[in-house]
Amino acid sequence: MRLLPPFLPSLITMALVGFLSACGYTTESDLRSFIAAERAALHPVSKSIPSPTPFEAAVYDEGAKPDPFSKQALFQFMLGTTRSAKPSIATPDLLRNRTELEGFPLDSLAMVGVLIKEAQKVALVRADGKLYQVKVGGHIGQNLGKVTKIEETQITLKELVQDDMGEWTARMNMLKMQERTK
């Protein structure tokens, strides 16, 4: 084993003492006087806040304007109908009363069965845990879907959708029977 030279520990000790003496000695009063001098040199810049503008209430003239709180106005807003919508053969009747099933998207509805009621097929549709009866001519889904045909395994719908230009187009869609899992 190799031994360290005898002068190495004393050299390390002297270097350590030199480094520690370079830190200097300060008192608390030196520190407080430095902080006071820095605070005196600091001048905060304040910007004036503009005074608020006075509130002017808008007056609603209800002359010949439609009621903004009507269900029809809300439905037209949700559909995104515009005044520039061009009438076509596929224009829906937006003034008719809506059914409960028109509040659900089609993918959240489930066909669970078919009944024959008064010699007419009636589909059973489950939505939000409730069971609804749907006949041909009834409406379901958020795209103004009208039931055109009820079969043993599916319901055929004619949906009306509006494109970006405001034109209504008809498309066919189906709601198939949901198999029950145990």
- Looking at the chain, how many residues does it have? 182
> What strand order describes the sheet that includes 120-127?
110-117, 120-127, 130-134
Number of H helices, E strands in the chain: 3, 7
What pLDDT score does 25 carry? 64
Closest to 116 measured CA to CA, from 135, 139, 138, 131? 135
pLDDT of residue 174: 92
Q: What angle do CA 148, 154, 156 make, to 5 degrees?
A: 25
CA angle at 108 for the pair 102 and 112, rounded to the nearest 5°: 95
The sign one gets for the Cα dihedral 105, 165, 146, 137 is: positive
pLDDT at 83: 47
pLDDT per position as a tens digit, 23-69: 666 678 888 888 899 988 887 778 888 899 998 888 877 777 777 77
- In the block, which residue shows the tokens 């066909």? 111
Domains of the chain: 86-176 (2.30.30.830)
- pLDDT tens, 113-159? 999 888 899 999 999 889 999 999 999 998 889 999 999 999 999 99
Give the global pTM: 0.49
Q: Does the pLDDT value for residue 75 go beyond 80?
A: no
Q: Which of 125, 140, 136 is nearest to 177 (CA)?
A: 125
